[in-house]
Chain A
Amino acid sequence: MIPALAVEGVYKFFGDFPALRNVSFQVEPGSVVALLGRNGAGKTTLLRIMAGLSQPSQGSVKVHGAEAREATTRRRIGVLGHSISVYDELSAHENLTMFGSLYGIPDAPKTADAMLERVGLGRVRDGLAREFSRGMRQRLAIGRAFLHDPELLLLDEPFTSLDDKAIAVLQSMLKEMRDRGRTVVMSTHQLREAMELSTHVTFIQRGQVAYDGERQDEMLKDTGWLYRTYGEQ
């Protein structure tokens, strides 16, 4: 079976500094992977390379067997980064319709409406994003990432600074993705939420993979176990 994601010998240098060193792992379709590691371990750099936002210095990333930067591949990927990536000067509906059009969704305005209802922003569809509260903007960003029903979802610390409603929306949508056999890779420091959702764990230590495998019971019971067992003391 072709893996949903195959990372092969990836290096990334910023000047002489190696942010990633020979990172290799595969993600099977339907897996939910928690990408863990301390600050500066290389999680965001790796996610950006997987999303096609950055080129590896060496190595390759394949998504369902195809290069990450191919247009057909990007259509299958959803990305939710640190920032919300929506336009303040556009309304919620205009934002989602615009991204829907870029992803080639046939009836983008209708899909945008459905997604706005899903994330609880249906009543403010014509409000400008800049007028929204922080939580509403975060839910709009979640709607943008899920809009085109991606087969592979890449999330960079998705639970950080979300309000309660946004966390509930995100958890519900991630569970739905998992139940429908979609693949999710998320970097996070919120270990409890990550462990509850994930089927696999990849632990990055100083730009290298220190652990890659199924989530173990010890991780669920004791969220610090992974760091104590595989992390540097």
Chain B
Amino acid sequence: MTYLHQIWTIAAKDLRSEMRTKEALNASMAFSIVILILFSFAFDQAEGLNQILGGLLWLAYSFAGALVLNRSFARELQNDCLDALISSPAPPSALFLGKAFANFALLIAVELLSLGVFAVLYDVRLSGKFGLLFLVMVLATWGMTVIGTTFSALTVNLTMRELMLPVLIYPFLIPVLMSAMILTTDLLAGVPTATNMVWLRVLVAFDIVFTAITVVFIDVVLVS
């Protein structure tokens, strides 16, 4: 119970701070919409657009997501707050999971708003597909969040962390993004989900494996 309460305390703190400044949220939202608009110009009336819709959507999500994830541990640099968190009795895994849940909530919010813009710009009908699409979003976004939050902790003391984070996380995110892109494209094209179960399994396995690894080793990352 205490462990869950500590996770909630960190997540609530991060969300409250973000809602007061909206630094990451506004930047991420604006960036996502701009990318979707630019893609819509670039691929306007392109043949086979339906075959790349998932890719366009998830590229926008992943670029915009990096902005939210970059702020995750950078937020703790102000006034050396990270020291106060690490010296508290909260386990490092609780600190990590609290931050990860806050990032996840912010990313999902950005993605849902962007999805509406995406549906309008690309004339996509989401009715009847939203449930499964949301499941894909949840699974893939958690994968992005775990990797992004971990590397946000690793790069927090680097002077060029804004550049380093995307460079480091995108190679790790290839399985997640590939799965999400294929699943989203097929869902929007009306391909039966049963034919794509392997990609759903990849997402679930990725989430479980990387969450477990991070929870076990985050202490090493946070305490040098």
A-to-B contact residues, CB < 8 Å: 51-55, 69, 71-72, 74-75, 77, 79, 81-90, 94, 98-99, 101-104, 128, 144
Contact = CB atoms under 8 A, between A and B. Distances in A.
B16 A94 contact: yes
A83 B80 contact: yes
Given A94-B16, A101-B5, A54 B224 contact: yes
Given A69-B219, A71-B91, A85-B81, 11 more contacts: A52-B223, A53-B86, A54-B224, A55-B224, A74-B87, A75-B89, A84-B80, A87-B78, A90-B13, A99-B84, A102-B89
Contact of B88 (A55, A74, A83): A74
B196 interface: no
A87 B17 contact: yes
Contacts of A54: 223-224
A54 B83 CA distance: 10
Determine the main DSSP class of B at the interface with A.
Answer: helix
Contact of A101 (B6, B16, B17, B86): B6
B83 A99 contact: no
Nearest to A85: B84
Given A81-B83, A86-B79, A86-B81, A98 B2 contact: no
Nearest to B3: A71
B89 A74 contact: yes
Contacts of A101: 5-6, 9
Contacts of B6: 101-102
Interface in B1-46: 2, 5-6, 9-10, 12-13, 16-17, 20-21
Nearest to A81: B83
A85 B89 CA distance: 16
B85 interface: yes
Interface string B82-101: 01111111110000000000
Contacts of A74: 87-89
Contacts of A82: 80
Contact of B89 (A51, A90, A98, A103): A103
Closest 7 CB pairs of A and B: A83-B80, A85-B84, A89-B17, A75-B89, A102-B88, A101-B9, A74-B89
Contacts of A84: 79-80
A101 B13 CA distance: 11
Contacts of B83: 51, 53, 79, 81, 83, 85
A94 B17 CA distance: 11
A87 B87 CA distance: 16
22 contacts: A54-B223, A55-B223, A69-B223, A74-B87, A74-B89, A75-B89, A79-B87, A82-B80, A83-B79, A84-B80, A85-B79, A89-B17, A89-B21, A90-B16, A90-B17, A94-B13, A98-B9, A102-B9, A102-B89, A103-B89, A104-B2, A144-B84
Contact of A52 (B9, B10, B17, B86): B86
Nearest to A83: B80
A166 to B, nearest CB: 15
A87 B13 contact: yes
A87 B80 contact: no
Nearest to A94: B16
Contacts of B10: 102
Interface in B130-181: none
Contacts of B2: 104
A167 B21 CA distance: 32
B159 to A, nearest CB: 17
A19 B90 CA distance: 28
B214 to A, nearest CB: 18
Most buried by B among A77, A85, A90: A85
B9 A87 contact: no
Nearest to B87: A79
Nearest to B219: A69
A15 to B, nearest CB: 13
B24 to A, nearest CB: 12
